[in-house]
Amino acid sequence: MGGSTRMVGAVGRDASGQRMLDAFAAAGVDTSDVAALPQPTGTALIVVDRDGENQIVVCPGANSHLSLDGVEFGPEETVYSWRLAWTWCWRQPGRRKASLC
């Protein structure tokens, strides 16, 4: 579709974090706004029952220490991340700069 993708977040300085960064790089994702922090990389467990209902348990790890200081979002960018989108839409209406709460 001709667009570019940028990941904003945090990974741990561990094997899981490195695998994620490698996978993003292989897919052409800009990771210049991904912080490598001393906390472990976060993970999520998704369980689906026989009726197709799911439950998601998130252990945010390094992402819970993420700071958006200095990260700007342009007027043409779409923010697509649950935590960032929640903050962007509900906590910062009408602002071009997101912040985490």
Gap between the Cα atoms of 101 and 87, Å rounded = 7
User: What's the pLDDT band for 83 if we cut at 50, 70, 90?
Assistant: low
Summarize the confidence of residues 80-88 as an average pLDDT. 49
Encode pLDDT of 5-58 as tens digits.
888 889 999 999 999 999 999 999 999 999 999 999 998 888 999 999 998 888
Residue 57: predicted pLDDT: 86
> What letter does residue 95 receive in the DSSP assignment?
-
- In whole angstroms, what is the distance from residue 23 CA to residue 84 CA? 21
Residue 85: its H or E element: helix 82-86
- Cα 78 to Cα 12: distance, rounded to the nearest angstrom: 25
**Contact present, 91 and 99 (Cβ < 8 Å):** yes
pLDDT at 73: 81
What's the chain's length in residues?
Answer: 101
How many CA atoms lie within 13 Å of 57's alpha carbon, on the beta-carbon side? 3
Token digits for 80? 């697509």
